[in-house]
Every structure is written in C-alpha cells, then in structure tokens.
Amino acid sequence: MAGRVVQDFGDILCNVSTVDALDGRIIALFATEPRIGVLEASRRLGVARGTVQARLDRLEAAGVITGWAPSVDPGALGFPVSAFATLEIAQGHGHDGVAAHLRTIPEVLEAHTITGAADMMVRLVARSNADLQRVIDGVVAHPDVTRASTVIVLSSEVPSRMLPLVEVATKQA
C-alpha cells in the first residue's frame, strides 16, 4: 500500500512538472471554446495541428484533462436547489457501501471522503426544498449512515473553475 501511495504521489509530481506554458494555452483555449477543434486551435495558437493533438493526448493520458463532456446546469434541468450534506458513517464500516448507495441516487452529484467531524461530503440537487427532503431521506436510508447535516446553497459566489489553477501550475513549471 505504501508503495502505491508513493507511486501515486510521484505520478502527481510528474503531471505537474510536464504542464508547460503551451499546455496551459491549449487547456485554456479548449476550456473557453470546447468545440473549437484541433485544426482551429493549432491556427490560433500558432503551432502544428499534430503538436496540439499530441499535447492533448499526453495531457489526457497523464490525467490532467479528465473529460470532454459538456458542462450542465442542474437548474436548467429542473433542479434549482443545491445543497451540501455531511455524513457520519458507522465506525468500523467502510465507505464503499455508502458510496455505492449514493451512486444510485441521481441527485447526488459528488461525494468525497473528508477529514473532520464528518466522514463524507455530498453535493446534492433537488427540484424544490420539499424535494430536497426526499433526496436526503434517500441518502440517509443506508444503514451505515448514522447522521447527516445539510446546508442549502443560497448563491454560488465562485462557480466551479479550473483555469486559475492551470495558470498557476504553468507558471510554476
């Protein structure tokens, strides 16, 4: 196990050190204009099409680029209520069972094992506050969830973003 942790950490360091300024420009361009295409990206960046494709392939293989799916607004799909729930899980029970249960609930967008008083942080969406109760009831239905605490999002002051992090990473490379 310890060897795997060291290997994972080494992979992370390798990924960070291989992201340069051109990689950052490529990521920024595709993040702001995801439908641009490799040929147009190469024209705008002033590099060969093969260079852009090779860089994208390398970034994807290294786990820097994790997907090409469109960003979807849950509110536009009819789920305007967002919330975060912290879950406490019965001692001696792994998180795997709870995580598998959460994967069956479509309104669970993310779940992370965390440090602190709680064991897991879950991002939820619902159609209304009343519907949020149904979603929470589904989350806590797993027998290993001993307690949940939920907060409703009033507004998103800093939406999900990656480009500032890409800029910092490429400056440090």
Question: How many other CB atoms are found less than 10 A from the CB of residue 52?
Answer: 24
What CATH number corresponds to the domain at position 133?
Answer: 3.30.70.920
Q: Give the per-residue pLDDT at 94.
A: 80
User: Residue 171's pLDDT band (boundaries 50, 70, 90)?
Assistant: confident
By DSSP bridging, strand 145-152 and strand 120-126 are unpaired
Do the domain assignments include residue 159? no
pTM (whole model) above 0.95: no
The yes-or-no verdict on residue 7 having pLDDT over 60 is no
Say yes or no: 65 and 118 in one domain: no
Comparison of pLDDT for 87 and 1, the residue scoring more? 87
Supply the range of the domain harboring residue 26: 2-70
Say yes or no: 83 and 60 in one domain: no
Structure tokens at 94: 């792994």
Tens digits of per-residue pLDDT, 44-80?
999 999 999 999 999 999 999 999 988 899 999 999 9
The yes-or-no verdict on residue 10 having pLDDT over 60 is no
Strand partners, 110: 123
The yes-or-no verdict on residue 28 having pLDDT over 70 is yes
Q: Quote the percentage of the chain above a pLDDT of 70.
A: 90
Angle (deg, nearest 10), helices 21-32 and 49-61:
90
Say yes or no: 108 and 53 in one domain: no
